A and B are shown apart, each in its own frame.
Chain A
């Protein structure tokens, strides 16, 4: 089977002002085509961070991410946007549909972004609405749909761009158990019938049960499938390079950080985060 995603020694550290928040610590991951992979792990273990980096929404500090052979960490912002448009479908915990669009338009929009005509896009949207079994609700706006229905639209939207992989960050977390189960079955069915690769992060035991592969994260590392103890008990702070520097360099580094952070962050934001 071909690899779709390959990460090598991925490190990521967030900065809140000058405070480091380590998130990923040497992730080596290999996702094959057609897998229904689930990322599990406690809150704060780095699941969302990993998905965002793989989805080219965020950059990493070091390491590499190859999606279908392209190293996305070396891309410019605009290249990443194009890359996302053609290769990746996102499903978010909070559905995140465009409020002012109907369900059908939400799905058709990505096709139009890809340069397809409006008619063709709406045709494709209809097709995917059928696939996620809410054909009859296409004209409704997101606020007229239930959570489960909205998430189906989101899945249809993710699929409509004909992506290589679908990244879903806790897709069932806002849904009740039964709705969540139905949604999992839908995704499983799509995975099996269409061969679409899924990478899903979740706490949900039902999702884990459906997984063809379960990857467990703890403190930014992949741990043994059934174990929660990290392989290396060393401080994960070693990821944040400043900790390992000689004092002089460390001060310089901090000052540079501070200047950069000042320049980029607007002082109005309460949560100052570096990515």
Chain B
């Protein structure tokens, strides 16, 4: 122990260099994980808050075939169960396919009737309306369109747009709406094919007073899965489908998984560099001290003790590097967690892919644990080979040649 410490102190510059390399490696990993996590949370959060919410409840099969015949038979029960589970951030909607027509042309749209008061608890549509305004309670037959759709229809604020839909029996109904807002989010899925109006208006138009097809619910990320299974259990016999966002849009989740996969690859590379760098230092310092190890053995140190000495050195370096790296990484994460990281420098000012220009890194403890143990294990592993080499030394030869 003491000998190992002395050796490390005796070669301070080299020790510090190795420790520094490990620390920088670990710190950058911590930062990267946190940034990645912040980015994903931000992206997924924005994605869910854009329109779909964290979880949706529909009548069975509605997600695949959104027709009004698939309305929720007992919305009262759903509301009760949601409230009983403390899930108060939900909004009821009536959704169906429709056709938007201007004087010039027509365009297929997803027709969504939403409650102007409860909707903001689930989504942030209001933020994404660049032209005009969001729905208000007293609005009737007001319409919000995506920018691309509005463009294709060549309509502007205040224009009349004819909406054609089908009621639950498949009978065609049509009404005239006033365009009050245009979604300019920059995201394809929102700017194209969305037609929003108030729930009451749509219920009146298709003659389904009080009926809804969809509950969109906002649930904190961490408890989504738990809440979904609770809801499923309590709404068992209602012929409902309860779908978290990643079941509705698996691509998004897959993308995150893939992205994390790249990060694991990166961790592998960093670990490799750490191991290679430390191996290099330890091997060099072992070769440099061949004679000294010979002397150690000559005066009665066993080969196991010599090996243990080198492994202890590696462990010291590893621990020191980990602690320094941890501090460095935490400071970086905490600082950038307060100020945020401005992506607009990299990406330009507009947001894309549901990512805000300002990202706040978030530290996940289990990831931190994995990274730290990996670095520690790697640094000890790097000590094994030099230790093994040293234990094979023949004292007489080592003293003669060292």
A contact residues vs B (CB 8 Å cutoff): 52, 55, 57-58, 77-78, 81-82, 84-86, 90, 92, 96-101, 109-110, 113-114, 157, 161, 271, 273, 275
**CB pair B298 A84 closer than 8 Å:** yes
Interface pairs (11), CB distance under 8 Å: A52-B396, A55-B298, A58-B396, A78-B302, A96-B292, A97-B295, A99-B292, A101-B6, A110-B300, A157-B299, A161-B300
Whether B300 contacts A114 by the Cβ 8 Å rule is yes
Interface size on B, residues (CB 8 A): 23
* Residue in chain A with minimal CB distance to B305: A113
Contact indicator B396/A100 (Cβ below 8 Å): no
CB of B299 within 8 A of CB of A100, answer no
Kindly provide the distance from the CB of A230 to the nearest chain B CB, expressed in whole angstroms.
Answer: 25
Q: CA separation between A256 and B300, bound complex, in Å?
A: 32
* Chain A contacts for B298, CB-based, 8 A: 55, 57, 84, 90, 96
Which of B6, B291, B297, B397 is within 8 Å of A81, CB to CB? B297
Q: In this assembly, does B7 line the interface, its C-beta being within 8 Å of a C-beta of chain A? A: yes
Per-residue interface assignment for chain B, residues 173 to 203, with 1 indicating a CB less than 8 Å from any chain A CB and 0 otherwise: 0000000000000000000000000000000
Contacting pair A100 B395 (CB below 8 A)? no
Residue pair A92, B399 in contact (C-beta under 8 Å): yes
Task: Label chain B's interface by main secondary structure.
Answer: helix
Residues of B within 8 A of A157 (CB): 299
Sample of 14 more A-B contacts, CB < 8 Å, known A100-B7, A275-B394 = A52-B396, A57-B394, A57-B396, A78-B302, A78-B304, A84-B298, A86-B300, A92-B295, A100-B6, A100-B9, A101-B6, A110-B300, A113-B299, A161-B300
List chain A residues, Cβ under 8 A from B9.
100
Q: Closest Cβ of chain A: how far from B301's Cβ, in Å? A: 6
Partner of A98, one of B296, B396, B399: B296
A84, A109, A110, A273: the one within 8 Å of B397 (CB): A273
Within 8 Å by CB of B303, from A81, A97, A99, A114, lies A81
Residues of B within 8 A of A161 (CB): 299-300
Q: Does B210 count as interface, using CB distance less than 8 angstroms?
A: no
Within 8 Å by CB of A78, from B6, B303, B396, lies B303
CA distance A271 to B394 in the complex (A): 14
